Amino acid sequence: MTNHIVDLKNTDCALIMGSNAAENHPISMRWLLKARDTRGAKIIHVDPRYTRTSARADLYTPLRSGTDIAFLGGMIKYIIDNELYHRDYVVNYTNASYLIKDEFDFHDGLFSGWDKENKKYDVSSWDYQADANGLPLTDPSLQNPRCVFQLMKKHYERYDIDTVCKITGTPKNKYLEVLKTFCATGAPDKTGTILYAMGITQHTVGAQNIRAFAIVQLLLGNMGRPGGGINALRGENNVQGATDMALLFHIIPGYVDSPMNTADNKDLISFIRKVTPGAAKLPFTNLAEFRELVKAGFPNSGWKIHTSKWVVSMLKAWYGKAATPGNDFAYHYLPKRDEKKNYSHIAMFEAMHRGEIEGLFVNGSNPVVGGPNSNKEQEALTKLKWMVSIDLWANETAEFWTHQAWDRPVKNPDVPRMTPAEIGTEVFFLPAAAVYEKEGTAAQTGRWVQYRWKGAEPVGDSKSDLWIYNELVKKIKQKYGASKRKEDEPIVNMTWDYDDEHGHDDIMKVALELCGYNVADGKPVEGFAKLADDGSTACGCWVYCGAMTFKDGKNIYKPQLRKKDDPSGLGIHPEWGWAWPMNRRIVYNRCSVQPDGVTPWPGDAKRQLVKWDPLALADPKNPTSLGSWVGVDVPDFIKTTGPDKAAFTSPFIMRPEGKGCLFAAKNSLKDGPFPEHYEPWESPTVNIMNKQNLNPAVKVWEPDKQGTRDKYPIIGTTYRVVEHWQTGALTRNLPWLAELMPDMMVELSEELAKEKGIKNGHNVVISTSRGDVKAVACVTKRFKPFNINGQYIHQIGLLWQFGFKGYATGDPANRLTPHIGDANAMCPEYKAWLCDIRRA
């Protein structure tokens, strides 16, 4: 979330799109309902089916799964045509006025630079025009036909209301009402928030769906202000923390690109050059020279100018004394990913299925139920030599071999049936302690990092994940102990020092390393502005720097703070837990004040978060350091950037140009600088917006498994219910929760039920080109057939939370879903595919 959960109470209008917040994030609904009660806020819900969230909304409208960009593209056009954008905000805080290279173009669904052979874009034309000094050219009048604003206007010309409704199947009057209601937040004294979750991300255009939100929110001036923002309602309790710690293949901790096996990543200096925007052509051969250039004002990288400090401090944290200025701080120890390979979930299971992977650690995950095309993923596990499952329960994945023959899809004769005796995978099960049985932090969806103390002792032999990994790595290091082989150095020289004086794992030692310490005295680094790239600081994850502080002779870990005070009344609660970065509760908060840095937006003084104070001390110890940003939230701005600096009106400090990007310049996305509507991989219709059906930049893994509308005419989607948690291991194993939602269920409209002779409670079979599943039919008014460009099209919805273990069992819906993912993030297209349904 750019904002946070409590901040939802400050909104004038909430657009909930691709999220069933009432069931999956009930706490967010609490604050939204408060906004409605106290400020008369409006709640809008856009979802293919009517849900418990719709029931609480002021305005509900359906759309066909996979068509959100069409819906939002029409919104962008409506905002521009009716001049509803927040002009001052757009001109000053976004890249609307930036001129784009003449070579940039868009035709027939393809942006310029399409490389037909390699099926990817050369993104060099997706860039700004620059002056002799490399600075972007702009036209603040927004009239130049090459400025972002005009190009955007042209791009969305095609998204008129009639065309949009033909694609989405949304009733026109409802669509207009949504446009009118949400776009009213473009007024300077209004803010609107967007909440989304998996209905938006689980698509081949998932990342571009969110980009479309970004454009809408920037145009309406809703970013960086209370009650505004783009708010991903994140899933697992610590999924935000997992991302911060880089449980993703393409980043290292703190959202820095992970190094590759390419020439421009070959040593630390090449890598820093590559990951620091603008540094490509700068003449430096070592970090000292780089520091001199930075002092002289080069390059123009925004806050990412400090990347070398984050990377070197991380290497110091990982390799300690072995990381020295003389050996590139042991950069060569870091594993380098193969440029040509993809290491995301789908790609890994494809590789496993091809027999390219020997062993697998499954740590708190259940892909046999939760993975896309789960028949294939289950089969991939049979090709492993060994698998370690670390879990509370022996879930479907831990015991995948017990149900091989039983659960083969009847219609898939080419998949060999295997008995457990024929499966060679050796499985080790390590029982894990539950969240209540251990201590540590979780970063919740609003970036608040909160410490949790242990509530009970672990059951039986189960151990915390930290204990398991601490013991495992200690054993591995023991084995490698005396090795002198070069390739063993990364293990031999890795710092691993998390034991307390009794030899038990000490989570505060992990916390200190993540937050960062001064190498000389081991004291916490007080904030990431103090990190260095000379080896004097060590820090495991720069965005967590500042969470640990030294006061009154001891370390204070701020995620443990529990003070409820809220001086501003805006729900900031600055001493409750700690939010990254630097306890900032709303990011981009420079935008909550007018460009002059002082005046609130007209009529909105109460929601001003920060301001420029020419008399405030930038450094409390230096009485001559006049001029600083101050406010009720921690300013998201370089403290001393005053009106005399060019960057004074550049609130988006993580971007080199400092502006919110209506146009995503090169190297941001793989599939285009403006979101464009493409159909899902399996679609019941042709794309009427352009000549490409599927997002061209998407990798197709299994062309022979694409279901077509002649055989599979119905759209299928999957979702959760409040009664179950995820793959169900945590809920179907508990009798009282299993009883609440005992059966695998499919929801279908009364109209489709009639066509198919299905009645409420009937057993039915749903099939796709990948497999079949059985379910109990729930015939409901919550789904309605869509009118898509004159065609009458049905959509059904399945729970994906069932499997063959536990008290409540049923077929995993993922036996139906395809192995295809988003062009950028590889998030699987769980939410839109083709199927058929019949009585069992």
Ligand X SMILES: Nc1nc2c(c(=O)[nH]1)N[C@H]1C(S)=C(S)[C@@H](COP(=O)(O)OP(=O)(O)OC[C@H]3O[C@@H](n4cnc5c(=O)[nH]c(N)nc54)[C@H](O)[C@@H]3O)O[C@H]1N2
Residues that bind ligand X (CB under 6 A): 17-20, 23-25, 46-49, 51, 65-66, 68, 197-199, 202, 235-236, 363-367, 370, 390-393, 395, 432, 434-435, 465, 717-720, 722, 724-727, 729-730, 797, 800, 813-814, 817, 830-832
> Looking at beta carbons, which pairs linking 353-357 to residues 24 or more positions away fall under 8 Å?
353/377, 353/379, 353/380, 353/383, 355/383, 357/383, 357/384
Of 726 and 780, which CB lies nearer to ligand X in the complex structure?
726
* Closest CB 466 distance from ligand X, rounded Å: 10
Is cis: bond before 299, omega within 30 of 0? yes
- The entry of Mo ion, ligand X, none that residue 19 binds, CB within 5 to 8 Å by partner kind: ligand X
Binds 814, which of Mo ion, ligand X, none (CB < 5 to 8 A, cut-off by type)?
Answer: ligand X
CB of 364 to ligand X, least distance (A): 3
CB distance 35 to 10 below 8 Å: yes
Contact of residue 199 among ligand X, Mo ion, none (CB under 5-8 Å per partner type)? ligand X
Q: How far apart are CA 538 and CA 778, in angstroms?
A: 56
For Mo ion, give the closer residue by CB, 171 or 235.
Answer: 235
Quote the tokens at residue 558: 């701020």
222 touches, from Mo ion, ligand X, none (C-beta below 5 to 8 Å by class): none
Nearest Cα residue to 380 out of 435, 425, 432: 425
Do residues 779 and 753 lie in contact, with contact meaning Cβ atoms separated by under 8 Å? yes
Residue 831's binding partner out of ligand X, Mo ion, none, with CB under 5 to 8 Å set by partner kind: ligand X
Rank residues 235 and 431 by Cβ distance to Mo ion and give the closer one. Answer: 235
For 586, the token pair is 């709303």
Q: How far is C-alpha 201 from the geometric centre of its chain's CA atoms?
A: 8
Q: Which is nearer to ligand X, 7 or 47 (CB)?
A: 47
Distances (CA, A) of 417 to 219, 381, 407: 56, 14, 9
Of 74-82, 233-241, 508-516, 828-836, the segment contacting Mo ion by CB under 5 A is 233-241
Which CB atom, from 636 or from 822, has the smaller least distance to Mo ion? 822
Query: Closest approach of Cβ 227 to ligand X, in Å?
Result: 21
| Kind of pairing between the strands at 714-719 and 795-799 | parallel
Token representation of residue 140:
């603040």
Q: Which does 269 bind (CB under 5 to 8 A by kind): Mo ion, ligand X, none?
A: none
CA distances from 199 to 21, 209, 535, 717 (A): 11, 10, 44, 9
Task: Give the interface segment with Mo ion, choosing from 230-238, 571-579, 654-662, 820-828 (CB under 5 A).
Answer: 230-238
Minimal CB distance to Mo ion: which residue? 235
Closest CA to 651 of 631, 671, 626: 631
Which residue, 151 or 741, has its beta carbon nearer to ligand X?
A: 741
Look up tokens 């839109």; give the residue.
832
Could you tell which of ligand X, Mo ion, none binds residue 301, using a CB distance below 5 to 8 A set by kind?
none
What is the C-alpha separation between 599 and 266, in angstroms, rounded? 49
Nearer to Mo ion, 401 or 802 (CB): 802
CB of 175 to ligand X, least distance (A): 13
Q: Which does 391 bind (CB under 5 to 8 A by kind): ligand X, Mo ion, none?
A: ligand X
- Residue (222 or 395) nearer to ligand X, CB: 395
Of 68 and 682, CB closest to ligand X:
68
DSSP assignments along 336-380, one per residue = -B-TT---SHHHHHHHHHTT---EEEEES--HHHHSSSHHHHHHH
Q: Nearest distance from residue 416's CB to ligand X, in Å?
A: 25
Closer CB to Mo ion, 235 or 627, in the complex: 235
Q: What is the DSSP letter of 805?
A: S
* Alpha carbon distance 361, 438 (integer Å): 21
308 binds, among ligand X, Mo ion, none (CB under 5 to 8 A by kind): none
CB 374 to ligand X: min, Å: 8
Selection from Mo ion, ligand X, none that 106 binds (CB < 5 to 8 A by kind) is none
The alpha carbon dihedral of 232, 238, 243, 248 has a sign of negative
Which is closer to ligand X, CB of 92 or CB of 204? 204
Residue 767, binding choice from ligand X, Mo ion, none, Cβ under 5 to 8 Å by partner class = none
Q: Which residue is nearest to ligand X (CB)?
A: 235
Partnered with residue 550 across adjacent β-strands are 555
- In the chain, the amino acid numbered 748 is L
Residue closer to ligand X by CB (options 770, 831) is 831
First-to-last C-alpha distance (Å) of the chain? 43
Q: How far apart are CA 144 and CA 762, in angstroms?
A: 62
Binder of residue 817, out of ligand X, Mo ion, none (CB less than 5 to 8 A by kind): ligand X
- Report the nearest approach of ligand X to the CB of residue 585 (Å): 22
Q: With CB cut-offs between 5 and 8 Å by kind, which of ligand X, Mo ion, none does residue 315 bind?
A: none
CB of 45 to ligand X, least distance (A): 9
How many amino acids of this chain bind Mo ion (CB under 5 A)?
1
Rounded least distance, CB 198 to Mo ion, Å:
6
The interface region with Mo ion, picked from 162-170, 234-242, 528-536, 651-659 by CB under 5 A, is 234-242
Closer residue to ligand X (CB): 299 or 370: 370
Per CB under 5 A, the segment of 161-169, 229-237, 281-289, 780-788 that binds Mo ion is 229-237
DSSP string, 497-535: --B-TTS-B-HHHHHHHHH-EETTT-PBPS-GGG--SSS
Measured from the CB of residue 236, what is the shortest distance to Mo ion in angstroms? 6
Tokens standing for 229? 């923002």
Residue 633 CB, nearest approach to Mo ion (Å): 28
Task: Tell me which of Mo ion, ligand X, none is bound by residue 604, counting a contact when its beta carbon lies within the kind-specific cut-off of 5 to 8 angstroms.
Answer: none
- The H or E element that residue 479 is part of is helix 465-480
Candidates 272, 296, 299; CA nearest to 130 is 299
Whether the link from the prior residue into 458 is cis, omega within 30° of 0, is no
Smallest distance, Å, CB 265 to ligand X?
30
DSSP, res 699:
P
DSSP at 788: E
Shortest separation between residue 345's beta carbon and ligand X, angstroms: 9
Nearest distance in Å: CB 281, ligand X? 41
Question: For Mo ion, which stretch binds (CB under 5 A), given 15-23, 231-239, 331-339, 527-535?
Answer: 231-239
C-alpha separations of 447 from 11, 79, 587, 609, 815 in Å: 19, 30, 10, 18, 34
d(Cα 130, Cα 45) in Å, to the nearest integer? 42
User: In terms of CB distance, is 248 or 700 closer to Mo ion?
Assistant: 248
DSSP 381: H
Least Å distance, CB 803 to ligand X, is 9
User: Number of C-alpha atoms within 13 angstroms, CB side, residue 680?
Assistant: 33
- Backbone phi, psi, residue 287, to 5°: -70, -30
Nearer to ligand X, 473 or 630 (CB): 473
Q: Which among Mo ion, ligand X, none contacts residue 729 (Cβ within 5 to 8 A by kind)?
A: ligand X
User: What size, in residues, is the chain?
Assistant: 840
- Of ligand X, Mo ion, none, which one does residue 245 interact with (CB within 5 to 8 Å by kind)? none
Q: Answer yes or no whether residue 235 interacts with Mo ion by CB under 5 A.
A: yes
Burial of 257 (0-12, 13-18, 19+ CB in 10 A): middle
* Shortest distance in whole angstroms from residue 547 CB to ligand X: 21
Residue 364 contact among ligand X, Mo ion, none, beta carbon within 5 to 8 Å by kind: ligand X
Task: Compute the least distance from the CB of residue 193 to Mo ion, in Å.
Answer: 20
In angstroms, the Cα distances linking 824 to 361, 490, 697 are: 25, 30, 9
Footprint of Mo ion (CB under 5 A): 235
